[in-house]
Structure formats: structure tokens, C-alpha cells
Amino acid sequence: MTDLSVRLAALILLGVALCAAQPRGRILGGSEAKPHQRPYMASVQVNGTHVCGGFLVAEQWVLSAAHCLEDVSRPNETVTVLLGAHSLSQPELSKRRYNVSRAVLHPGSRPETIDHDLLLLQLSENATLGPAVTLLPWQHEDREVAAGTRCDVAGWGIVSHTGRRPDRLQYVVLPVMDRATCNQRIYHDGTITERMMCAESHRRDSCKGDSGGPLVCNGVAEGVVTSGSRVCGNRKKPGIYTRVGSYAAWIDSVMDGGAVSEGAPEGQGHPEQ
């Protein structure tokens, strides 16, 4: 075999190895969602750029993760919510952008931890509901999801270890992991509280940019993707989700007007085409 043949063979083998090392599909190990099959999904944006996911829980409220806004310093930056989108950039008749009149972080959330990582965004007006924009039922009971339950998570977060972001919504189906297992030393070593839950992450996982999106089990939002820093797709670092049912009283209180909020300028929603 000539030197050139040897080099070509080596390059081919290297390419195969690199491809095998990269996660297949989207999110990590997932696929592109069918357009508007998850009409509750929201893109939380800062100055028109996607930063996190979220989901519509009431006509004027989107639930997301508190860490999503930790780097936002208003009034220089504008937080908006995009509903009815499949593609973030392409014209779609169903897309509409809403300004945020209130951003309410859970009072126990802190930048240095993932505890109480919840955020409620009040839209400046009621969302216009339709086939591409609907509410997602969320868990009101403080109960555990059985280990092994297969749940759906979707988002516009990064899809490879190189940090590539998709334009169209991606999803992946993941099995829930028992908290006791998730708290073993080889995984999260006792850091998962009773107000959190885990899902397996072996090459299939939620990742940066998916934070704030829902973990949907049997048609109900059971968890919210946390914004904590970890290696995506590493089976020894299962995905961590804030259990919605554990915060039902707080969520209801905020939406009923009973919680202190951090304000954002009021405005009107407008079509996004």
C-alpha cells in the first residue's frame, strides 16, 4: 500500500471515529419534532435571541427556569416570548411574539445552585390560542413519577458537543431514573432533592438552551429542565428536572397575583412572520 493510500485510510478511520463520538440526531440523540405537534412550547428570548425554553401553563403565563434570566440586566435587555413556532427564523403564520410584563423568579432560587429553579413569565396580554398554541396540563399533585416512565422533552437547545444550535424544534424521549439511583456516588452523589427528578442521559439528553422546557410524562408536565451546568449526554450525569407538582402552591399563588415579582417593561404582542 502506498503512503498516500495509508494516509487516506487513516483519515477515513479518523472520520468514522469522530462521527461515532458525536451524538446522533437532535437535542442530543433525538429528532426534529413534527411542526406544531407540541403547541405549548415557548422560546424565551433576550433581545430576539433564544436563550431558553418554556411552556404555556395559562393564557397569560409561561413557566420556565429561573437561571434563564440570571444574566439579564434590564432595562438594556428585552425579554420576549415566542409562541406558535417550529422554526425560530422562518416565517410561520402561527408565530407570535409577546412582551413580558412580569418575570417572577422563585424566591428560593440562587445563581450558585439549581434548587427551586423556576420562573414564571407573565405575558403583556393573553396568548391567542389555536391549533399551534395551546396550554399544557401540569402536575398539581406532589407525587413521584415511577422509574422507567418514558417522558418527552423538547427544545431548541444545542444538538452537538460543538455547540451547534438548531433552528427547528427538536425532541427526545427519556426514561425517568429513580432518585435513589440518581443520588448514588457514581451519578449525582446525593445532590438530588425531593423537589427534583432525574432522567437517563446515555447519549440522549436535554442540553444547554433546552432549560426551562417541560418534561412531559403521559401528557402532563411533570418537570422543568434545570439550567445547571453539566456534561450533556453523559450517562453518569443524568438530566435533572425540577418537579412541578412540588411547587403547585407557589405557581398558583403567582398566577393569582399573590407573589412579589421582578418587573419588565409592558408591551403588546405582535405577529412574527
Q: Which of 67, 106, 116, 188 is catalytic?
A: 67
Question: Quick one: CA torsion of 231, 233, 145, 244, rounded to 10 degrees?
Answer: 50
Q: Is 67 a catalytic residue?
A: yes
Q: Which of 43, 211, 227, 246 is catalytic?
A: 211
With cell 398558583, the residue in question is: 252
Q: Which of 43, 116, 117, 246 is catalytic?
A: 117
Measured CA to CA in angstroms, residue 172 lies from 154, 180, 189 at distances of 6, 24, 25
**CA dihedral over 111, 66, 175, 244, signed as positive or negative:** positive
Alpha-carbon distance 94 to 111, whole Å?
35
Q: Is 211 a catalytic residue?
A: yes
Alpha-carbon distance 131 to 5, whole Å?
57
The residue type at 238: P
Buried b (16+ CB within 10 A) or exposed e, 112-122: eebbbbbbbbb
Residues with a known catalytic role: 67, 117, 211
